[in-house]
Amino acid sequence: MRVIIPAAGVGSRLRPYTEDAPKALVPIAGRPLIWHTMRRLAKMKVSEVIVVSGYMSEMLRASLDACPETPPLRFVENPDFASTNSIVSLGLTKPFWDKPFCVLDGDVLVSCDLLQRVLDSPRDVLAVDTSKAYADIDMKVRIHDGRAVDFGKDLEPSARQGEFFGVSRWSPPNAARLAAAIDEMLAAGKVGEWYEFAMRRLAVEGGLDVLDATTDEWAEVDSAEDIPTATALVERDEVSFA
């Protein structure tokens, strides 16, 4: 199983940490954030990791070259990282969508257990935190019969909802649909969008299966206030490496 990690963004909300380092290298529990992800992926013996770099790309690559535990690595460069968003970064990895793969955002830490459930899923899934109250959800997902049928930051409350946090699994047929949605959006000049809005089109058209997750299984490091939460996740998860 391949894993694709978009990690090209500037991470302006994480300043001052990102003034002289890319977001994926923010220190968590004494190590760069992305090193923790690589350790998990190496433990799970994924076949290859595709990292999309951009902001301070050389520093990110050098850090990953020095990381003591990584699966085989390949890098894809987003030279337009400063003027585009994650839809462009993910779109650049389409040549690697010929086999099943997972997408894992570069600023997200995931517990070993949840990551294993995503990798082992027999179907394509979006990992969705269904334990959060509506008011605490950022990227909102509307769920019906176990499937994501819509998502966005401004969705109204629904009978069942959750938060999408940048972890998903794709097989070539659904990846082809996602590629078409990305291509259409980019052709319309929507280079500043998150890739979630290409996924949203697939959800609205027919739904995407949801894999339930809970708040203590993941942490998005989007601001300095998120670092203690990510540190606590790493410390809890250490038992998985014993």
pLDDT tens digit sequence for 182-200: 999 999 999 999 899 899 9
Helices (H) and strands (E) in the chain, counts: 7, 13
Q: Tell me which of 75-79, 88-92, 141-145 is least confident.
A: 141-145
**Confidence label for 17 from pLDDT (cuts 50, 70 and 90):** low
Q: What is the pLDDT of residue 123?
A: 94
Q: What is the pLDDT of residue 154?
A: 83
pTM over 0.85: yes
pLDDT band at 11 (very low <50, low <70, confident <90, very high): low
From residue 68, alpha-carbon distances to 38, 44, 77, 170 in Å are 9, 15, 23, 28
For residue 152, what pLDDT band results from cuts at 50, 70 and 90? confident
Amino acid letter for position 167: V
pLDDT at 133: 79
Q: Which of 14-23, 92-101, 124-133, 147-156 has the lowest mean pLDDT?
A: 14-23
User: Whole-angstrom Cα distance, residue 211 to residue 114?
Assistant: 9
210 close to 128: Cβ distance less than 8 angstroms:
yes
Instruction: Return mean pLDDT, the chain.
Output: 91
Query: For 122-133, what is each residue's pLDDT tens digit?
Result: 999 999 999 887
Question: Which two tokens mark 187?
Answer: 């052709």
First CA to last CA distance, the chain: 24
Q: Break the chain down into helix, strand, coil percent, rounded to 5.
A: 40, 25, 35
Between these two residues, 158 and 41, which has the higher pLDDT value? 41
